Amino acid sequence: MKHNTRFTLRILSACIASFLIACSFAGCGSDKTVNATTESEVSVTEAVETTAAIEPVSTEAQTAESSEPAANTTQAVSAEETTEAEAKKPETKAEIVALYNDAANSAKTDSKSILQNYSISTQTKDASISNKMLEGIANKLISANMGHNKAKDNKLWTTQAEKNANFVVEGQTWASKLTEADIAGATCEDKGDYYKITLKLVDDTTPNLKIGSGHAGKGISIVTKDEIVKGAGSLGMSVIEEPSIKVTYKNCKIVATIDKETGKLLTGNYYQDWTLALTALGIDVEVSFGLENDYKINW
């Protein structure tokens, strides 16, 4: 019986570690990095109490609007100027993607600074675990870890290194390599002084994308399998079957505003649904997150 209890605690610890590792990459509410090297035989009560202290996302925060610029309604525009502007408005998917790519890549290299307004994580569906006894505990842990990432809320990135590290695509010198083939739907709305562009990306059916590959990997800051393995550490990977780790992406969307006259990116809002599936000590685990990041570009 003692052996069975010990083994059950190891399984539960492995699942908790798996979820906390996933939460750390979801941009969760804690501003501390999750430590995956905790003793394997942790107390379930202690783990729940620790994560419950993290501030969950509020209903108001979930519905927070991006900092879309207000249209200038005081400046008179002649009919001739309006016609000219309308003629230049991007209409095709290829034109809209090209306009966004130029604006986003220029923002990363040429802007004065980039303000990250917020980063919010949500749990898009209940965790699925092959051991049903653990599902309730796991979902409580996940719920406690959702919310604002305080390390990224209202942060101003000024140096090139900071912009490369924190603006999409994070860790790269570029912001977008999207092509027409990566886009499921594209719209461009004329808002007076600026265009509002919405890009809905094609869902990725192949798991474990690399940065710059697939569809989401070319324009969204995705969580990669390599990051999950690194975050798990040697202890986490001692109970997680590495070949079982699968990260997939869907419902990715970019909403950007671009100045009509200069072509400069003004704001960018990036959303993704991502799912982590893995096996730890013979138990299959799957959890899905929503991640939204919002930025304002200063010129």
DSSP the chain: -HHHHHHHHHHHHHHHHHHHHHHHHTT-S-SS---TTS-SS--HHHHHHHHHTSPPPPHHHHTPPP-PPPP--SS---HHHHHHHHHHS--SHHHHHHHHHHHHHHHHHH-SEEEEEEEEEEEEEEEEESSGGGHHHHHHHHHHH-EE-TTTTTEEE-SHHHHHHHSSSTTSS-S----GGGEEEEEEEE-SSEEEEEEEEPPB-SSSPPTT-TTGGGTS-PPPHHHHHHHHHHHHHHHB-GGG-EEEEEEEEEEEEEETTT--EEEEEEEEEEEEEEEETTEEEEEEEEEEEEEEEE-
Tell me the C-alpha distance between 148 and 168, whole Å.
18
pLDDT of residue 66: 52
What count of other Cβ atoms lies within 10 Å of the Cβ of residue 107? 26
Confidence of residue 172 (pLDDT cuts 50, 70, 90): very high
Rounded average pLDDT over 158-182? 98
Judged against a pLDDT cut of 50, whether residue 32 lies above it is answered with: no
Confidence of residue 112 (pLDDT cuts 50, 70, 90): very high
Tell me the C-alpha distance between 256 and 240, whole Å.
39
Confidence of residue 17 (pLDDT cuts 50, 70, 90): low
Judged against a pLDDT cut of 70, whether residue 151 lies above it is answered with: yes
Tell me the C-alpha distance between 150 and 239, whole Å.
30
The string of DSSP codes covering 130-151 is: SSGGGHHHHHHHHHHH-EE-TT
Mean model confidence pLDDT for the chain: 79
pLDDT of residue 44: 36
Confidence of residue 198 (pLDDT cuts 50, 70, 90): very high
Confidence of residue 229 (pLDDT cuts 50, 70, 90): confident
pLDDT of residue 222: 93
Judged against a pLDDT cut of 50, whether residue 43 lies above it is answered with: no
Rounded average pLDDT over 102-120? 97
pLDDT of residue 84: 46
Tell me the C-alpha distance between 37 and 198, whole Å.
41
Lowest mean pLDDT among 94-98, 142-146, 149-153, 254-258: 142-146
